[in-house]
Structure 1
C-alpha cells in the first residue's frame, strides 16, 4: 500500500488547512488618484473582467462539517469543475452542495462523478447559457509564464491574484491513504489560500491551464508562502470529459505494489499483478524503477505521479535496476476505473 503525506512535496512541506490570521493593525495611507487608463486586451484587468463570470464559489455542508471552495464553468449547460477534496464530504449524498454563480444565483448541485486519484470532480447545476472559460493547453506552459488565479479564498468570492509559473511537473500528494491524490503539478507563486481549491489558473491570454489544488506551508506557518500547485488542465479535460460522458473516469496503472520502506534512489517493486502491464513487460518484484517515460523517479510517490502523468493504453519506457544491472522495459499502461 502506498503511503502518502498530506501535501507532501519532496517530503518537506504540507497541505494547508488554515484559518484567517488574527486581527492586525491597519494603517491608513494617503490616497493617490491616477488618471483613467484603458484596460488593453491581455492585461490582468481585462482577463479578470472576462473570466470572473465563469468562476463560481462552492458551499458544502457534509457529514464532517461545512466548507467552501471554488470552481469554474466547463460547459454552458451546467457542468462545473472543482477539486474532489472540496466536495468529498457530501459526495455520497450525506450533505448538500451549492454553487454560487458570479451573478449571485445560488443553485443546488449534484455530483456527476469524481476522480480521487487526480483530485477532480464534476458537478451539474440546472442552468443554461452559463459563461464558459476558454481552456488552454497545459503542455505549452513554460517556466516564467504569467498566470492568474481566481477563486474564493477564505470565502472572499472573486479574488484575483497574479504570479508566474515557478516550475513544472512537481510531484505533489494531496490527502491521505485511500483519499490521496498524486499530481504532476504546475507550481506557481500566485497567492493561493484555503477556499481557492478548485478554481482556475489562467495563462496570460485568459485560458485555463490548471485547477488550483494545494499549497505548501512551513511546519509552524499558516497562509500562502508562494508555493501553490495546480493540476494541469489537459489531465482535467480528459477526466472531466470521461465523467460527463460515462459518470466515471479511468486512471493509468503500472500493475505493481511498491515497498515504501525502501530508502534508496528509485521505487522498489514489492509485487506485480499477474498478467498485468508490468508483468507482461518483464518487470518482477525486487526491480527498482529509476524512470518512467523519461521522467526520473526518486521514490514511490514520484513513480505514482509519473504514471498518472500519462494516459491508459499509452506505451512508456520504464528504466529499472535489477541486481546491479540497469534495464529498459516497454510497458503499455493499464487502467482502473475511478469514482
Structure 2
C-alpha cells in the first residue's frame, strides 16, 4: 500500500476530487547632438513614418484577433475582491506581561481593539447574461460576499457572489444592471492542439490585456497541472496568463469563449491552463440555481495499472489480493458505508466500463461519474478474479468530511 499512496497520491481518487506589479524605471543619457556637415545631408527628405493607410471603414487591416477582441472585450470585467482577516490574538497573548506591549493594564479590551486586516485581490471575469450574470474563478472571490465589478467602459458596480465551487474553481457573481454586453459561448470538446487561443483579462492590474497563442494540449489532469484537489481536465495554452488573468475568458479564433483562464504553474515558462467552458457552464448553472454545485461520489480509491504497479501489489501482503492484468483501472480501496461499498465493490476490482463508455484510465472513470446524476442508478462493469461483474451504484453527493 505504501507504493500506491506515495507513487500515486497526486491522483488517488475517491471520485472526488481547489501578484504584484513591478514598476520599471528608465535611464536617460544626455549627449550633445552630433554636427552634420551639409555634404552628409541626404538630397531627398525622408518622409515621417506613419501608420499604413486604412480604408474608410477602418476594417481592412483588422486581423481575426482584433475582431475577436472587439466582440468580447466589452463583456470582460475586472473584479476587485476584499475580505476581512481576523486579527484577534490568542488567549495566551492576553497575559498581563503582553498587555505591557499591546495595551494598557487598565484596559481589558485593548487587545481586542486591534482593527482587522483586509486582504485584497484582483481578477477577471466575463458576462454571460445581459441581466448581470458573471462567471469567474472561485479563488478570485474566495471569502468575499461582495465584490467590485468594473466594465471596460469604466462603469463600476457592486457584485454579489452567488456561489463558489472549490472542486472546479468556478464561481458566479451577479450585478444589478441590464442590457449588458455578453460573450458568445463556444465548444471546447472539439478543440485541436495547434488552434489559435486568445486570452483577455487584467494581469498584474493592467486592464483589458490581450495575449495570443495556441492550444498546446487538451485533457491535462488536475495532478499534472499541480492542483490535485480539483475535478477538471484542463486546456493547456501558451497564451500568456499571469496573476490577474484568473477568471477571464480563453477564446477561439472566432471570438467564442472556450474556457476560463485559471492556473499558472510556478515552475512553468509560457504555459497556462483553462477550465473547459462545458465544465464551467455545468457548474455555473447549479450555482445560479441553488448557490452550490453537487458532485457525484462513489467512494473508491483507484489507480492506473502498469507492470510496475502489478509487481508491487503482487509482491506485498498488504493488499489482500493479487492481480493478473497489466493495465486497466484498479480499485485499491473501498470507503466503508459509501455508495460503492453498498453496491458490492471490492478492492482488486478492475473497472472496464462506466455506463456505456469503456474506460482505460482513472481519469476517464472520474469523467463519467462526474456527468452522472446523484441518486440515479449507474452501471459499472468490473473484472473480478477473471470474471466480469455488473454492479449497480447510485452516486451520492460528495461528503465534505472526506475533503476536510
Compute the TM-score of the two structures, normalised by the length of structure 1: 0.75
Alignment of 1:56-135 (within 5 A): 56-64=77-85, 65-90=119-144, 93=145, 96-135=146-185
Deviations 1:238-262 (A, max 9, x none): 1111222232222232x114279x9
TM-superposed deviation, 1:311: 4.1
Question: What is the CA–CA distance in structure 2 between the aligned matches of 1:20 and 1:305, rounded to whole Å?
Answer: 39
Cα RMSD (Å): 3.8
Deviations 1:50-89 (A, max 9, x none): 1110000110111351111100001011111001111113
Question: What is the CA–CA distance in structure 2 between the aligned matches of 1:61 and 1:242, rounded to whole Å?
Answer: 25
TM-superposed deviation, 1:286: 4.0
Contact 1:138 1:233 in 2 (8 A): yes
Question: What is the CA–CA distance in structure 1 between the aligned matches of 2:73 and 2:26, rounded to whole Å?
Answer: 31
Contact 1:278 1:331 in 2 (8 A): no
Alignment of 1:1-339 (within 5 A): 18-20=19-21, 23=24, 33-36=51-54, 38-39=58-59, 43-64=64-85, 65-90=119-144, 93=145, 96-173=146-223, 180-218=229-267, 225-253=269-297, 255-258=298-301, 264=309, 268-272=331-335, 274=337, 276=339, 279-280=342-343, 282-287=344-349, 293-294=357-358, 296-297=360-361, 302=363, 306=367, 310-312=371-373, 325=386, 334-336=395-397
TM-superposed deviation, 1:25: 6.6
Q: Specify the SS of the correspondent of 2:232.
A: strand
TM-superposed deviation, 1:127: 0.6
Question: What is the CA–CA distance in structure 2 between the aligned matches of 1:26 and 1:251, rounded to whole Å?
Answer: 56
1 or 2 for the larger relative contact order (CA 8 Å, sep ≥6)? 1
Contact 2:377 2:395 in 1 (8 A): no
Q: Specify the SS of the correspondent of 1:63.
A: strand
Question: What is the CA–CA distance in structure 2 between the aligned matches of 1:312 and 1:211, rounded to whole Å?
Answer: 24
Question: What is the CA–CA distance in structure 2 between the aligned matches of 1:328 and 1:225, rounded to whole Å?
Answer: 47
Contact 1:168 1:186 in 2 (8 A): yes
Question: What is the CA–CA distance in structure 2 between the aligned matches of 1:70 and 1:86, rounded to whole Å?
Answer: 8
> CA 1:306–1:32 in 2, change beyond 3 Å: closer, same or farther?
farther
Question: What is the CA–CA distance in structure 2 between the aligned matches of 1:213 and 1:169, rounded to whole Å?
Answer: 15
Question: What is the CA–CA distance in structure 2 between the aligned matches of 1:22 and 1:288, rounded to whole Å?
Answer: 56
Deviations 1:31-59 (A, max 9, x none): 77433365468710111111110000110
Matched positions, count: 306
Question: What is the CA–CA distance in structure 2 between the aligned matches of 1:215 and 1:144, rounded to whole Å?
Answer: 19
Contact 1:163 1:191 in 2 (8 A): yes
Contact 1:42 1:205 in 2 (8 A): no
Question: What is the CA–CA distance in structure 2 between the aligned matches of 1:102 and 1:109, rounded to whole Å?
Answer: 16
| Structure 1 gap segments, 5+ residues each | 10-17, 219-223
Which structure features the higher share of strand residues? 1
Question: What is the CA–CA distance in structure 1 between the aligned matches of 2:369 and 2:279, rounded to whole Å?
Answer: 9
Deviations 1:261-302 (A, max 9, x none): x9938564322454615753x43134465886445436xxx4
Match of 2:322 in 1: none
Contact 2:198 2:210 in 1 (8 A): yes
Contact 1:166 1:189 in 2 (8 A): yes
Q: Specify the SS of the correspondent of 1:168.
A: strand
Which structure features the higher share of helix residues? 2
> Rg bigger for which structure?
2
Compute the TM-score of the two structures, normalised by the length of structure 2: 0.64
Deviates more, 1:34-43 or 1:165-174: 34-43
Contact 1:317 1:328 in 2 (8 A): no
